[in-house]
Amino acid sequence: MFINADGSKPIYIQISEWIETEILNGNFTKDEKVYSQYKLAELFNINPATAAKGLNILYEENILYNKRGLGKFVSNDAKELILDKRKNQTLKGLIQEVVLESERLDVSENELIDMIKTINKERKGDAT
């Protein structure tokens, strides 16, 4: 994993992830216009070309669609696409690491599932 040695993701990836989170949180809803590259640039103090690159990733993944001259808008199934992406990529990646680590520590599959259940329970307990 030494390729990510410096720990920071490229800024445009961070931008696209930020917009995804905003969509998941309902701050941008279906068919709503998202921030322009200029607004994002001002918000995050970055070059607008970098912000545009972040927006473009989401456009290529059909999470955003283009209205010529008006900007980028949240597409119909944006939420599903993001959830799907995160499940398949981010979560899967995390789980892969968990599985690898438990293998190294000699933790069995059942034990691992139990651990997850316990943490879930604790969280639910905290919530009430």
Partner 1 sequence: MNVIECHALIKNHGSRKALNNLSLTITENKITGLIGRNGAGKTTLLKIIAGYWRETAGEVKVFSNKPFNNLSVSANTIFIDDQMNFPTALTLKQVLEEAGNFYPNWDMELALKLFNYFSFDSRQVHNNLSKGNKSTFNMIVGISAHCPLTIFDEPTTGMDAAVRKDFYRALLKDYLAHPRSIILSSHYLDEIEDLLEDVILIENGEKYFHTPIEELKETAIGLSGDKEIITGLVADQDVLYRTNGEGNHSYSVVLKKDLSSKQIEKLRDSGVEYHQYHQTICACT
Q: Which residues bind partner 1 (CB under 8 A)?
A: 2-3, 5-6, 10-12, 38, 41-42, 44-50, 53
First to last CA, the chain: 39
Q: How far is the CB of 8 from partner 1 (least distance, A)?
A: 9
47 or 66: CB nearest partner 1: 47
Residue 53 Cβ vs partner 1, minimum distance, rounded to whole Å: 6
8 Å CB contact between 72 and 65: yes
Q: Toward partner 1, which CB reaches closer, 5 or 127?
A: 5
* Spatial distance between the Cα atoms of 52 and 61, rounded to a whole number of angstroms: 14
**Min separation Cβ 21 and partner 1, Å:** 20
